[in-house]
Amino acid sequence: MAGSTYGTIFRITTWGESHGKALGVVIDGCPAGLPLNEADIQRYLDRRKPGTSSITTPRKEEDAVEILSGVFEGRTTGTPLSLMVRNTSQISRDYSEIAEIFRPGHADYTFDQKYGFRDYRGGGRSSGRETVGRVAAGAVACRILELLGVTVYAYTRSIGPIEADMSRFDRTVRLSTPTAMPDRDADDAAIKYLEEAKKASDSVGGCMECIVEGLPAGIGDPVFEKLDANLAKAIMSIGAVKAVEIGDGCLVSSRRGSENNDGFRANDSSVIDDTRVIKTSNHAGGILGGISDGDRIVIRAHVKPTPSIFLTQQTVNKDGQNVDINIKGRHDPIIVPRAVVVMECMTALTVLDAMLVNMSSRMDSLIAFYKK
Amino acid sequence: MAGSTYGTIFRITTWGESHGKALGVVIDGCPAGLPLNEADIQRYLDRRKPGTSSITTPRKEEDAVEILSGVFEGRTTGTPLSLMVRNTSQISRDYSEIAEIFRPGHADYTFDQKYGFRDYRGGGRSSGRETVGRVAAGAVACRILELLGVTVYAYTRSIGPIEADMSRFDRTVRLSTPTAMPDRDADDAAIKYLEEAKKASDSVGGCMECIVEGLPAGIGDPVFEKLDANLAKAIMSIGAVKAVEIGDGCLVSSRRGSENNDGFRANDSSVIDDTRVIKTSNHAGGILGGISDGDRIVIRAHVKPTPSIFLTQQTVNKDGQNVDINIKGRHDPIIVPRAVVVMECMTALTVLDAMLVNMSSRMDSLIAFYKK
Amino acid sequence: MAGSTYGTIFRITTWGESHGKALGVVIDGCPAGLPLNEADIQRYLDRRKPGTSSITTPRKEEDAVEILSGVFEGRTTGTPLSLMVRNTSQISRDYSEIAEIFRPGHADYTFDQKYGFRDYRGGGRSSGRETVGRVAAGAVACRILELLGVTVYAYTRSIGPIEADMSRFDRTVRLSTPTAMPDRDADDAAIKYLEEAKKASDSVGGCMECIVEGLPAGIGDPVFEKLDANLAKAIMSIGAVKAVEIGDGCLVSSRRGSENNDGFRANDSSVIDDTRVIKTSNHAGGILGGISDGDRIVIRAHVKPTPSIFLTQQTVNKDGQNVDINIKGRHDPIIVPRAVVVMECMTALTVLDAMLVNMSSRMDSLIAFYKK
Amino acid sequence: MAGSTYGTIFRITTWGESHGKALGVVIDGCPAGLPLNEADIQRYLDRRKPGTSSITTPRKEEDAVEILSGVFEGRTTGTPLSLMVRNTSQISRDYSEIAEIFRPGHADYTFDQKYGFRDYRGGGRSSGRETVGRVAAGAVACRILELLGVTVYAYTRSIGPIEADMSRFDRTVRLSTPTAMPDRDADDAAIKYLEEAKKASDSVGGCMECIVEGLPAGIGDPVFEKLDANLAKAIMSIGAVKAVEIGDGCLVSSRRGSENNDGFRANDSSVIDDTRVIKTSNHAGGILGGISDGDRIVIRAHVKPTPSIFLTQQTVNKDGQNVDINIKGRHDPIIVPRAVVVMECMTALTVLDAMLVNMSSRMDSLIAFYKK
């Protein structure tokens, strides 16, 4: 099991490597009858496309998606959706140096140790291009969630020391700023910071945040399949993520219970039903005991700086000899702006799957479903 | 799927709730021929037992484990190990108040929303007692890892503002300090801090850290089943954990690539083979591209303060009416010291499973295995 | 993975061996709110109990079930049900001979080859007692199916050359005949046949059949998770089953299409809706393309004679030397009458799981579920 | 979960429908370092290609496979293999009649009931073309098994009343006879029988058999993941299969134990080790207690006649009205000859996966693997 499948009911299997013929994903378990076309998916893929600003690689990646199966007369049939993106812009060049040397911060050495050899062209399966399949599948998940009244959106929270000012938060702004920040002033400052780092042949880390709105209370499971546990896995599985926080995250470890507990309140004192319960704060980030509480889900991911930097670094070659390495090529000085849509997609996939799994949690709804 | 099963090959299924008759775990996929007796498991269970110091609940939980199946003449048979702990000390008392009211910070409300009702006695399945099964199974995993030369150990890194001084780190110390800190001075300070919080009817959060030593390079998978992704899920699935960090974790988001990359070096310039590669630093925490790099694995978890505090809190009752709640009973002022062994066990389960899954990753070792 | 878990959503994990302390099952994914008590389960376990007639072993197996978790105030909570049966009648005797010798037709040799050694007492995990867990879990599945309007029942179709006359079929009769045949005359004849075989120190094979009534059309999946494929696995996983047929089974291979196709007809010529479609025959056994067609599901299983016979047989010992074996002890001369309830339970588990998995197959029902 | 994934470690996910753009499969968990090219796979696909004799449809299906990922410099990399076959010969024609009418013996009605509508062109996902992905993946499994010394081959055992004479069995003959029979005389007789049936506008059923040679003893698991249980599922999941037999199959139900048990014997009286144990007969078909016994595995499948016949049949239309149907188009009069390679492939996938899962069954081999 090489671990390229994700999800229990809405189950995706991604394939493809940086410099292969194509990349893609098979989605199994997509409910039948969803209106879907290539443009619905392309919109998400375009958000991870490079070459659109000074702070991304000038590589061209068209990433035009093709639906190969699972849609008939404009609707999903319930059978596997196969989505493919042909690789078109991979420049054929000399990889002999990188073939022999392990790049620091990359998976070169660990891949070799696991499999005995590796496809060294552009990182192979460990390349960021692997996320093409995740985003294509996530686009479908987002479309379903929309119809269920659930919205998922991610954005860049900080880049190096530059943090977005959340008092100026505007959700749509993240779609037009090169940094995917939801605040134009922070975006300006971050671009300056990135250009300076780039000039210094260096790269920069950052933090991204994802919000889920409209998710009903009661989604997730109480033990190993906690909603936050699955989100942690989903987000940590994105290359370069080194920490995941839910709600107030790391802050809770230095807090008192009286500060950290969120009180419950009736939303409306006159007419009361279960869905009318709200919280006085959201330190929990919308999840209690692994199950959604009806409040906004808040997830943060800390992303390391792009390991491909243009400074000389110490490493070893395949024969275990000490060598210096000088990386060439076209590399983003930061991963975050293009990873934001990946985080959005992995979150959507996780939340949707939890909603599908949840459908059989009660006898009364099971009976209602089958004894109409 | 209520999500009580964990693992692909070494697969555990836990069961039981706080005030039920018993709690336990079934381990399926344990290799045959492992010497195992109840004492091997009891040692781990004893580390999560309360009532041993001023900073844990005075509740008595004997937690004596019984091996019901899967061991014959002192060795595992390869068939399911069923491990059970009878609940003996659950005091029968009046739960009518808590039955009607949702405790802030607990899973009461979310459980009710999911299942329509809940076993309100002591948190039911969402109680910390659920981890009895995890620890019993983890003890078996640890024993196997030991025979493979892999060591896993966790300890308390900080409690509220009190941090262990890692220059005074002593691994065995964590087994005798009430806080599970690896540094006696920090332990003393933390106990004072906790007693003060307890007096204020409040509770405290903390941070725990887990180390894996001796894990060969090459363990883990490159996409969704990344070793760090699975560790993140495993650790985030422990109740009250709100953030998981690998290696330098959150720090990476404000770093430059030149600071964050770990260089590779030959361990010994004379005789070189693959296993002789080391890193000049370990910001990565022993994992690159989801696969172990042969260095120490470092994981940190941030744990929220015990939600059961003795101050008056605002909440709603089952009918959605605003009410005040005053929690009674015996509760730990902090979760961390007893959760440390749970982190150790979840880490061991994850690492062992990854090692078993990894056995078929190469044709050459597959052929060697079957064509002896 | 030792393969002791079955099911995707309604997922059971069985444990225990013939002469261990206990046997049991954990059911994860049981919907919350099902009224359940021990008597509901005991009724099914009693049907696999031996010692009730001349044609079963005189061994006493009380098999009293205990619910250890997952039920609160008489209803399932949605969390794992742990069901346990203590072993009480295992006679301590001298196993030294069977410990050293591989019994023909049993799993002794193959177990040893896989695991390196085995629990030789009474077959260990390969004993028919392993089905205690299956039956306990199946009893719960049957109870849920009942509430959904689905009925599952199995019976003995034939014993050696004696076949039940289906024109005399009476469903309740199977519960009182020692052979589990649904026809008293055939039961009488079969008992005579069995007594004669027993006298000859020999054993007998038989065929059992299971019917599912009331299952709506549309359950099952079109490719690997076909309903008939999963039923085949479920039934073939019962020890001693060597063939599984769906509908007309083996007969189809010598038929023409014109004989074998089932025509469709409107059930009622006046008011027509989809559920009013019936078939003119049921050669298909209620499944087309892996999906239920609304007709009765028909499954047959061919069961080999009990391998423990009292005639001298040729075999080898652990050292690979040729030896003769004379089996002693208390053994059923036929497996079928006690396996019928196991077939019923495995069928129920499979059908219920397929119904739960099916809940998310359409967008319209998904939206209806969440946007009430 | 639409059930398009098969296998635990060597895990395949198929996609595509009869008249879509393409069909394919993703193989995840293929060991790294296997030499592989498109010709290795094409050879198997060519065996399921129609249009090569009077007894298959004259439809042309080129079915040229393309490896899209997972192979680098002629060897598998350990990451997903994506294999695709473009649909090229689907004739665009008028489907309006079949769109409105449920064909007897097909999945039309059940698909509609499950998903609310269907891709009616050529059966959509329920078409025999779905097996393209299975065969492409099975070709890879066969190649690995070969390197492990395991051979899998299937052939036609009977067609209607014409049975192959196994005393004339020749394994290679099955590759050149139009019927895939291993006996040229039976092939001649079967072709005559099929031509006569075709003239009568009718179709014919048949039986296919698969043999596994060289599989070591000890493969498979003792409870739900029995090797025979998984084979039963694998084979029953092939469209039109209605019965699966292992070894002597259905015959066992009318046998005595003394006839049915296979004795064990030392293979060589001088030098004895475990692998030197043989059986005096093979009624069991190479599997005891769900685990391979080192003997030949024997599996048989009974396949129904092609449901598309050219005689007038009774059915209903989408509105539930009684109508007559006259099927047109190009259809095989029998499914078996082209399904034989599918059976071979599903068997290979199952056996290989069981071998990979088995690698961690013993502590001693686990320790040997990691402590080299």
Which tens digits make up the pLDDT trace of C158-185? 999 999 999 999 999 999 999 999 999 9
CB contact under 8 A, A365 and C361: no
d(C-alpha C341, C-alpha D284), whole Å: 24
**Does A269 score more than 90 pLDDT?**
no
Q: Mutating which of A215, A267, A304 best tests the B interface, going by the most B Cβ atoms within 10 A?
A: A304
Inter-chain residue contact A370 with C9, CB threshold 8 Å: no
Q: Which chains pack against C, by 3+ Cβ pairs within 8 A? A: A, B, D
- Asked if A33 and C355 come within 8 Å (Cβ–Cβ), the reply is no
H helix intervals, A225-297: 227-236, 257-260
Nearest to C344 by CA among C141, C50, C49, C46: C141
**Partner-chain contact C265 D316, CB within 8 Å:** yes
Spatial separation of the C-alpha atoms in residues D307 and C257, rounded to whole Å:
6
| Cα distance between residue C154 and residue C340, in whole Å | 6
Name the average pLDDT for chain A: 93
Residue B109: what pLDDT?
95
* Mean pLDDT, range D136-143, rounded to an integer: 98
Structure tokens at B14: 């836990």
Query: Which residue of D358, D359, D364, D372 to mutate against B (max B Cβ within 10 Å)?
Result: D359
pLDDT of residue A274: 47
Mutate to test the interface with B, among D274, D355, D363 (most CBs of B within 10 A): D363
B218: three-class secondary structure by DSSP: coil
Q: Per-residue pLDDT for D272 more than 90?
A: no
Amino acid identity, residue D186? A
Between A1 and D195, the higher pLDDT residue: D195
| Helices first, then strands: H and E counts in chain B | 9, 18
Tokens in use for C279?
A: 């078939």
Q: Is the pLDDT of residue A60 over 80?
A: no
CA dist B50 and C153 (Å) reads 50
Look over chain D and give the mean of its residue pLDDT values, rounded to a whole number.
93
In this structure, the dihedral spanned by the alpha carbons of residues D89, D90, D93 and D95, taken in order and rounded to 10 degrees, is 160
The answer to whether the CB of D250 falls within 8 A of the CB of D214 is no
Residues on B contacting D at a C-beta cutoff of 8 Å: 8-10, 29, 31-34, 76, 78-79, 144, 147-149, 216, 222-223, 355-357, 359-367, 369-371
Residue C23, strand partner residues: C16, C85
> Which pair of structure tokens corresponds to residue C296?
């009765």
Secondary structure of residue C169 in the 3-state scheme: coil
* C243–chain D nearest CA distance, Å: 4
Reported as a pLDDT band with limits 50, 70 and 90, residue D52 is low
Q: Taking phi first (over 0 means left), then psi (-120 to 50 degrees means alpha), and beta for anything else, what does residue C210 get?
A: beta
Pick from B359, B363, B371: CB nearest D359? B359
Rounded to a whole number of angstroms, the distance from the CA of A93 to the nearest CA of chain B is 24
Residues D74-121 pLDDT 10s: 999 999 999 999 998 766 666 777 888 999 999 999 999 999 999 988
Q: Which neighbouring-strand residues pair with C324? A: C314
For residue D293, the chain C residues in CB contact (below 8 A) are: 109-110, 113
Among candidate residues C320, B367, A274, B317, the one with its CA nearest the CA of residue D269: C320
Structure pTM?
A: 0.97
For the record, the structure tokens of C104 come out as: 């023909």
C3 neighbors C11 (Cβ within 8 angstroms): no
State the nearest Cα–Cα gap between C86 and chain B, in angstroms. Answer: 9
Helix axes C227-236, D227-236, angle to 10 degrees: 160
C41/chain A closest Cα distance in angstroms: 18
Amino acid at C280: T
Under 8 Å CB pairs connecting chains B and C tally to 162
User: Rounded CA gap, C275 and A371, in Å?
Assistant: 13
Cβ–Cβ below 8 Å for C307 and D204: no
- Nearest-neighbour CA in chain D from C195: distance (Å): 13
Per residue in A286-305, pLDDT (tens digit) is 999 999 999 999 999 999 99
Write the residue in C234, C272, C280 that is nearest to D319 by C-beta.
C272
High-pLDDT (> 90) share of chain A, %: 85
CB contact (8 A) between residue C1 and residue D357: yes
State whether residue C209 is helix, strand or coil: strand
What's residue A226's pLDDT? 98
Q: Which helix (H) or strand (E) holds D369?
A: helix D363-370
**pLDDT reported for residue B274:** 47
Helix A131-147 crosses helix A38-47 at what angle (to 10 degrees)? 120
Nearest CA in chain C to D163: C254
**Which residue of B27, B127, B157, B288 to mutate against A (max A Cβ within 10 Å)?**
B288
The answer to whether the beta carbons of residues D342 and B13 sit under 8 Å apart is no
pLDDT over 80 (residue C111)? yes
Best residue in B1, B23, B25, B114 for a mutation probing chain A (most A CBs within 10 Å): B114
Asked if the Cβ–Cβ distance from A243 to B244 is below 8 Å, we say yes
| Inter-chain touch A359–C367, beta carbons under 8 Å | no
CA distance D180 to chain C (A): 15
Nearby residues of A172 by Cβ (< 8 Å), 6 or more positions away: none
User: Above 0.90 for ipTM, yes or no?
Assistant: yes
Answer yes or no: is pLDDT of A256 > 80: yes
Question: What is d(CA C133, CA D62) in angstroms, rounded to the nearest whole number?
Answer: 50
Helix, strand, coil shares, percent, chain D, to 5: 35, 25, 40
Neighbours of D171 (CB within 10 A): 12
pLDDT in tens, A213-244: 999 999 999 999 999 999 999 999 999 999 99
Closest Cα to residue C260, out of C244, C293, C282, C286?
Answer: C282
Q: For A134-185, how does the pLDDT look when each residue is reduced to its tens digit (9 = 90+)?
A: 999 999 999 999 999 999 999 999 999 999 999 999 999 999 999 999 999 9
The predicted pLDDT at position B242 comes to: 98
Q: Which two tokens stand for residue D138?
A: 């099975």
Considering CB atoms only, which of D242, D274, D320 is closest to C247?
D242
**How far does the CA of residue B174 sit from the closest CA of chain D (Å)?**
29
Query: DSSP assignment of A64-87, as one string?
Result: -EEEEESEETTEE-SSPEEEEEE-
On the 0-12 / 13-18 / 19+ scale of CB atoms within 10 A, D104 is: buried
Residues of B in contact with D366 (CB under 8 A): 31, 144, 148, 356, 359
Pairing of strands A71-72, D5-6: unpaired
For the residues A323-348, what does the mean pLDDT come to? 93
Q: Which residues of chain A are at the C interface, by a Cβ-Cβ cutoff of 8 Å?
A: 8-10, 29, 31-34, 76, 78-79, 144, 147-149, 216, 222-223, 355-357, 359-367, 369-371
Say whether B222 and A109 touch across the interface (CB within 8 A): no
Nearest residue of chain B to residue D150 (CA atoms)? B370
- Weakest mean pLDDT among B151-165, D176-190, D257-271: D257-271
Would the CB atoms of C285 and D111 count as touching at under 8 Å?
Answer: no
User: CB within 8 A of A94, min separation 6: which ones?
Assistant: none
Q: How far apart are CA A24 and CA A17, in angstroms?
A: 9
Contacts C79 to B, Cβ<8 Å: 2, 4, 15, 17, 119, 124-125
Check residue B191 and give its pLDDT: 97
Kindly list the residues from chain C whose CB atom is less than 8 angstroms away from the CB atom of residue A371.
148-149
pLDDT at C275: 61
Band (pLDDT 50/70/90 cuts) for residue D51 is low
Residue C253 neighbours by CB under 8 Å, 6+ apart? D158, D205, D206, D207, D243, D302, D303, D304
CA distance C269 to chain D (A): 7
Express each pLDDT in A92-124 by its tens digit.
Answer: 666 777 888 999 999 999 999 999 999 988 889
How many A/C residue pairs have CB atoms within 8 Å?
83
Identify the chains in contact with B, defined as 3+ C-beta pairs within 8 A. A, C, D
Please tell me the predicted confidence (pLDDT) of residue D90.
65
Contact between A190 and A160 (Cβ < 8 Å) = yes
Provide the residue-wise pLDDT of chain B in tens; the chain has 372 residues.
679 999 999 999 999 999 999 999 999 999 999 999 999 999 999 999 876 677 777 666 789 999 999 999 999 999 999 999 999 876 666 677 788 899 999 999 999 999 999 998 888 999 999 999 999 999 999 999 999 999 999 999 999 999 999 999 999 999 999 999 999 999 999 999 999 999 999 999 999 999 999 999 999 999 999 999 999 999 999 999 999 999 999 999 999 999 999 999 998 755 444 467 999 999 999 999 999 999 999 999 999 999 999 999 999 999 889 999 999 887 889 999 999 999 999 999 999 999 999 999 999 999 999 986
| Cα distance between residue B315 and residue C140, in whole Å | 37
Confidence of residue A273 (pLDDT cuts 50, 70, 90): very low
CA distance D217 to chain B (A): 11
Angstrom distance (rounded) from CA D40 to CA D144: 11
Of residues C144 and A332, the one with the higher pLDDT is: C144
Q: What is the pLDDT of residues D277-309, one digit of tens each?
A: 999 999 999 999 999 999 999 999 999 999 999
pLDDT, tens digit, 9 for 90 and up, residues C262-283: 999 998 755 444 467 999 999 9
CA C236 to chain centre: 9
Say how many residues make up chain D: 372
Instruction: Tell if the CB–CB gap between D255 and C230 is shorter than 8 Å.
Output: no
| Backbone angle region of B180, left / alpha / beta, with phi > 0 → left and psi within -120 to 50 → alpha | left
Strands B162-163 and A264-266: unpaired
DSSP characters over C176-207: TSTT--S-HHHHHHHHHHHHHHHHTT--B-EE
Q: Which amino acid is at C212?
A: V
